[in-house]
Amino acid sequence: MIEIIPAIDIIDGKCVRLSQGDYNSKKVYNENPVEVAKEFEAHGIQRLHVVDLDGAASHHIVNYRVLEKIANHTSLLIDFGGGVKSDDDLRIAFESGAQMVTGGSIAVKDPSLFCHWLDVYGSEKIILGADVKDYKIAVNGWKDESACELFPFLEDYINKGIQKVICTDISCDGMLKGPSINLYKEMIDRFSNLYLMASGGVSKIDDIVALNEAGIPGVIFGKALYEGHITLKDLQIFL
Q: In whole angstroms, what is the distance from residue 50 CA to residue 5 CA? A: 10
DSSP string over 82-115: SS--SHHHHHHHHHTT-SEEEESHHHHH-HHHHH
Note if 131 is an active site residue. Answer: yes
Give one DSSP letter per residue of the chain, joined into a string. Answer: -PEEEEEEEEETTEEEEEETTEEEEEEEEES-HHHHHHHHHHTT--EEEEEEHHHHHHTS---HHHHHHHHHH---EEEEESS--SHHHHHHHHHTT-SEEEESHHHHH-HHHHHHHHHHH-TTTEEEEEEEETTEEEETTTTEEEEEEHHHHHHHHHHTT--EEEEEETTTTTS-S---HHHHHHHHHH-TT-EEEEES---SHHHHHHHHHTT-SEEEE-HHHHTTSS-TTGGGGG-
- Active-site option among 52, 54, 79, 131: 131
Q: Active site includes 189?
A: no
Residues with catalytic roles: 9, 131
